Each structure stands twice: as C-alpha cells, then as structure tokens.
C-alpha cells in the first residue's frame, strides 16, 4: 500500500496552531512579510505546506512544526511552576510567547528554590501519563544535605519511611551517596515536598535540590539555567543515558 501523505495545512493555520496568535494576527504576520518557508518569504495566508519536518521562520527566528509541544527547561531557582504564581515569577516567563500562547504547562512541579529538569507540554494525554501514580515514571534528584549521607540512611529510604500525613511507607526506587553531603534519590511518586520530607525522616536535612533526570531523559550538560529546548516523547521512554556521578546541584521541590 502507498504510504499516507503527511498532513498539509494553510500557513495561517500552521502559525495559529504553533501559538502565534489569532488567525487574524497570523494573517497579518504573513501579509506583512514576516514569515518565510524554506528561505522564501510567503505572503499568502492560504498557501499550504506539509507539516512533516516543516521548519518556518517568523522575523528570522526558525520554528519547527510540532503537533504537540514537549519542552525541556533547565529551571533556575526563584521561579514558580504554578500557572498563577504569587510570590515569584512563573517558569512560563522563561519561554517565548508562542509557547506560552500554546498553553504548555509543567509536568509536575518543582519548588521555587529547586533547580534542574522541568518538562512542559500542551499534550493532555502525555501530561496524564507522566503524572499518574499508576505509571511510576522515575525522577532522579541530587540533594545537598546538611549532615553527611550514610549508607544506613540510603537503606532506610529504599525500605520506606512514614511521613506525617500518610500512614503508608513511602519508598525511594534507589538511593546512594555521591559524596559525603550529596545524595542521589530516585522516586516514582510525586508527593508534596517528598524529597525534603523523606530526607528529614532519616534525620538529615536538604539544603539544596536539583532534578537531573525524568524518565530516561537527563538534563543536558550544555543547557544553561533558564534555557529550554524541544524534546521528543520517545526520549522519555528510551534507553537511559549515562549520568556523571556528581552532576551539578543547586538550590533546593514540590517533589522536594
């Protein structure tokens, strides 16, 4: 059987689905000569293009077409993951307007003082899959602690500790010391302040927390705090990439 043709959309609809405003706004961008496809200016809003692997430009900035957005952000300290932040600016302010217009939202939350890997998407199905407790997607944290990390504390975290609001033990999928005061903790749950509370339950305290991995996706070493990049859904469920034993750690999570 012949392969199906890739979907084709009018340029105005492409811009609209990618977050460049209302269709009237998108028409104005195209008619005003702000949009290029394959290096050529296109001034017809109804000109149709195959969306598969399409890259277009708006005011000289290249945008790959994505039916659903999945963004990896290196979250710095001092930003809230809430859609309605209160005391601190929202992580959305670190993204360009088209991504904010698309309505991407964080997959889970990190406290304002937690740094590291944060995913955002406008794909509701993926959002549910990655946040549902049924799917046990691992998340890896590096916690800088006040007191030395012991093998006994790590064993207790894996065996399970009881938090004050839940009589059922909460277990880490893995725990190991990276140095005297640096703990690597892998969780498959997402309780409020979970890392900080679990570490407190074994008589230690977190003073800085950094997420280094989500699923099989690790924080890229060349992605600076506040920067973002596109990722693919399959990057979350592929073969884990090796992580350095002592990757960066920063100030400290709603998962924390």
Query: Terminal CA-to-CA distance of the chain, rounded, Å?
Result: 52
Q: Tell me which of 111, 165, 179, 180 is the catalytic residue.
A: 111
235 annotated active-site? no
18: Cα within 13 Å, side-chain hemisphere: 20
The β-bridge partners of 55 are: 64
238: which residues sit within 8 A by CB, 6+ positions away?
A: 216
> Which value, in Å, is the radius of gyration of the alpha carbons in the chain?
21
The residues, any chain, with a CB within 8 Å of residue 143's CB and separated by 6 or more, are: 182, 183, 184, 185, 195, 199, 206, 208, 209, 210, 249, 252, 256
Could you tell me where the DSSP H helices lie in 112-245?
Answer: 124-131, 151-159, 194-201
Could you give the strand order of the β-sheet that contains 55-58, starting from the edge strand earlier in sequence?
40-41, 35-37, 55-58, 61-64
Distances (CA, A) of 80 to 26, 97, 141, 152: 31, 18, 18, 34
| Residues tagged active-site | 111
């Amino acid at each position: 059987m012949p392969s199906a043709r890739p979907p084709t959309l009018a340029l105005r609809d492409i811009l609209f689905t990618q977050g460049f405003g209302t269709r009237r706004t998108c028409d104005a961008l195209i008619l005003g000569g702000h949009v290029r496809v394959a290096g050529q200016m296109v001034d017809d809003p109804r000109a149709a293009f195959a969306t598969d692997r399409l890259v277009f430009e708006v005011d000289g900035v290249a945008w790959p077409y994505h039916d659903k957005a999945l963004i990896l952000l290196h979250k710095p300290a001092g930003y809230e993951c809430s859609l309605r932040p209160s005391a601190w600016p929202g992580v959305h302010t670190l993204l360009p307007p088209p991504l904010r217009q698309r309505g991407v939202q964080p997959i889970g939350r990190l406290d304002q003082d937690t740094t590291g890997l944060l995913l955002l998407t406008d794909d509701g199905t993926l959002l549910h899959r990655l946040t549902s407790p049924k799917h046990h997607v691992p998340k890896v944290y590096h916690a800088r602690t006040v007191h030395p990390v012991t093998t006994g504390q790590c064993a207790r975290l894996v065996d399970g500790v009881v938090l004050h609001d839940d009589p059922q033990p909460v277990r880490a999928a893995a725990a190991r010391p990276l140095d005297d005061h640096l703990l690597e903790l892998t969780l498959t749950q997402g309780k409020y302040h979970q890392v900080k509370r679990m570490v407190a339950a074994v008589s230690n305290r977190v003073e800085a927390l950094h997420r280094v991995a989500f699923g099989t996706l690790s924080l890229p070493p060349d992605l600076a705090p506040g920067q973002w990049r596109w990722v693919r859904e399959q990057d979350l469920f592929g073969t884990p990439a090796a992580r350095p034993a002592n990757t960066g750690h920063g100030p400290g999570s709603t998962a924390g």
